[in-house]
Amino acid sequence: MNKFYESGYVERWHTNKHVPAQTTGQHSFGMLQLLIILHPNPSANLMQAIIRHDLHESFFGDSPHAAKNEYPSIRVFEEHAQRIFEKENGLKKLELRDEDKLWLKLLDQLEVIFYLESLDCGDHSVILKQCAILVDKYQKDLQGYGYFA
């Protein structure tokens, strides 16, 4: 139980000196706030997935998005680490619908945009542009499920 609770204190943005630290708990809470604003009827599994999506970082730290893009094996490792963490901590595997998976990705990127735009420090235009491209893609994909029409 402690590992689960403490996972919310992992600091994000540690590799970018221009972005103040944000905990995984703050990030997940921001995602939940956006979900409540944007989704007409979110599933309980989607809400759990938001809370659980970075649990493994309590052991492995936050891997920067750029690193995962440049070295896809990092992303594979993180997915495996997430499954191990959940299993070792007695969490059942969540079954997410395809649209919930898209929502999870959308909210993960959208929260980054909101966080960076709330700051009054440095130029984050490159990160914001990358996130905006992904947000646009996920929104278009979700239109196929009747969202953002």
C-beta of residue 124 within 8 angstroms of C-beta of residue 115: no
What pLDDT is recorded for position 1?
61
Q: Quick check: 128 pLDDT over 90?
A: no
pLDDT at 106 over 90: yes
* 6 has pLDDT over 90: no
Summary mean pLDDT of the chain:
88
Task: Please give the pLDDT value at position 89.
Answer: 83
Burial class (CB in 10 A: 0-12, 13-18, 19+), 132: middle
Question: Percent of the chain, pLDDT > 70?
Answer: 98
Higher-pLDDT residue of 32 and 131 is 32
Under 8 Å between Cβ of 39 and 148: no
Question: Check: CATH 3.10.580.10 for 2-143?
Answer: no
Per-residue pLDDT tens over the stretch 17-49? 888 999 999 999 999 999 999 999 999 999 999
Rounded average pLDDT over 110-133: 86
Please write the tens of the pLDDT for every residue from 67-92: 888 998 988 988 888 888 888 888 88
Q: How far is residue 17 from each of residues 65, 80, 105, measured CA to CA in Å?
A: 15, 28, 25
- Amino acid identity, residue 81? A
Tell me the pTM.
0.87
46-67 exposure pattern, b = at least 16 Cβ within 10 A, e = fewer: bbebbbbbbbbbbeeebbbbee
Domain residue limits, the chain: 2-143
Residue 33: what residue type?
Q
